[in-house]
Amino acid sequence: MPTCRLLHRLPLRHALSKRTSLTTSHHPSFILRPSQTQTALSTPRSLGLAAYRGLPTHSLTAYHTTTKLLSTTASPTPLPTNPDPPAYQPPKTGLLSLLPASWVPYAELTRIDKPVGAYYLYFPCVFSTFLAAPLATPIASPVTVVGTSLLFLAGAVIMRGAGCTINDLWDRNLDPHVARTRLRPLARGAVTPFQALVFTGAQLLAGLAVLLQFPPACFFYATPSLLFVATYPLAKRVTYYPQFVLGLTFSWGAIMGFPALGVDLLADTGAQVAAGCLYLSNVAWTVLYDMIYAHMDVKDDAKAGIKSIALKHYGRTKQVLSGLALVQVALLAGAGTAVGAGPAFYVGSCGGALVTLGIMIRRVNLNSVKDCWWWFVNGCWITGGAITVGLAADYFIKYAGKEEKSDDDVAEARLA
């Protein structure tokens, strides 16, 4: 009966609140060692005399009664702990495993084992090469088109590596806080900033050597792109749209195909419009696929203070992606119209891009890192391949028509 009276004076929820404040405020070890909960409840002295300071006698008695009841009916639940992240392991398979150990960190800086970024840099070069080929005088031969495309591939691999190294230099203090990037060479200390800077210079010199294989005009068209290469990582600190700056960088090849094949952009208005529309179309494509890519790091980016379009439009991403896809295809169609492209271009390139982008946007699971990565890698080939096939088909049809017309002209000249 006395116990019931005391509990009547001090409601159970009040006793519980006192218990909570006592165990958490005055005895932190209760939280750190949940396995000792039973002992702490049954032995009030373990809480320390300070725990009882200021409590009236009737509250103290109610507290004892309540904790005894709880100790017989509830079992403590250990607090969850986060496992330690795995340590760096040297590559045992793939290209990197074949390199000397001292070379591996530098190869990792270039992302040579993850070449999809180089392909995304390469596709705009291919697009512009096929789009510009019919405008060349005379029309560029298939051998010239293939040779130019291979030079662009070499340049894309080298410059993408240089861009990654510059990015890691900028982000060397941020990468350790992001799960996906914490083991990059600079982040884990395998390469010093000075070594990475020297390596960047070597890559830029190699890129210059490739650039000098093109007509001289290409040097003047290519040089401004270095500004975007150097400043893209900075954009992540000042804007939620660094993907737009990345688009300005990765899409530069959409201009380069014209001077590479001898098309004068300053004199040919149609070529100017085509190059401008193709460039902006690729900017939209870059923002689109990199927005999917950014979703892989969206939680870590928020903690590290890194800005991205994925964070800015979180929850509305697919609507933004759909808008970007429509802009990309519309600008691509504008580029084809400016150069008089035929049905093969509109069906293959524009139609193919619209269908493949629509499937990707519909099916990608933005909450899955694995699924985002799959679509980022394969979307490169699916959409980029569809656009390339349409442009190549349009070029070969025009080339075959020019050859046939040339043969007819020769025959007429002989008859005359």
Mean pLDDT of the chain: 80
Indicate whether 367 belongs to any domain.
Answer: yes
Distance separating alpha carbons of residues 138 and 244, to the nearest angstrom: 36
In a domain, 327, yes or no: yes
- Flag whether 233 is in a domain: yes
In the structure, what pLDDT confidence band is assigned to residue 304 with cuts at 50, 70 and 90? low
* Domain assignment present for 7: no
Cβ burial 117-156 (10 Å sphere, 16+ → b, else e): bbbbbbbbbbbbbbbbbbbbeebbeeebbeebbebbbbbb
What 367-374 contacts at long range (C-beta under 8 Å, 24+ apart), as own/partner pairs, is 367/295, 369/295, 369/296, 372/292, 372/293, 372/295, 372/296, 373/293, 373/296
Interatomic CA distance for residues 85 and 88, integer angstroms: 9
Q: Which domain holds residue 356?
A: 103-400
**Is 279 within the bounds of a domain?**
yes
Question: So what's the pLDDT on residue 326?
Answer: 97
- What is the spatial distance between Cα 205 and Cα 211, in angstroms, rounded to a whole number? 10
pLDDT classification of 18: cutoffs 50, 70, 90 = very low
Verdict on whether the full-model pTM lies above 0.75: no
pLDDT tens, position by position, 192-250: 999 999 999 999 999 999 999 999 999 999 988 888 877 777 777 777 788 888 899 89
Contact 319, 366 (CB under 8 A): no
pLDDT recorded at residue 389: 97
Half-sphere exposure of 68 (CA within 13 A, CB side): 7
282 alpha-carbon distance from chain centroid: 16
User: Could you write out the DSSP letters of every residue in 25-81?
Assistant: HS-THHHH-GGGHHHHHH-GGGG-GGGGTT--HHHHHHHHHHHHHHHHH----PPP-
Q: What is the pLDDT of residue 312?
A: 77
| Overall number of domains in the chain | 1
Judge whether residue 66 has pLDDT over 80.
no
Instruction: For 243-295, write each residue's pLDDT tens digit.
Output: 888 899 899 999 999 999 999 999 999 999 999 999 999 999 999 998 898 88
**Within a domain: 249:** yes
Domain of residue 356, CATH code:
1.10.357.140
- Of 3 and 106, the one with more pLDDT: 106
Which two tokens mark 161? Answer: 């590596």
Q: How confident is the model at residue 179 (pLDDT cuts 50, 70, 90)?
A: confident
What does the pLDDT read at residue 83?
A: 55
Residues 43-68: what's their mean pLDDT? 44
In this predicted model, what pLDDT tens digit does every residue of 108-153 receive, in sequence order? 999 999 999 999 999 999 999 999 999 999 999 999 999 999 999 9
**CA–CA gap between residue 180 and residue 114 (Å, rounded):** 13
Given this model, what pLDDT does residue 157 score? 95
Q: Looking at the domain assignment, is residue 246 inside a domain?
A: yes
| pLDDT number for residue 146 | 96
Q: Residue 5 — very low, low, confident or very high, per pLDDT cuts 50/70/90?
A: very low
In a domain, 144, yes or no: yes
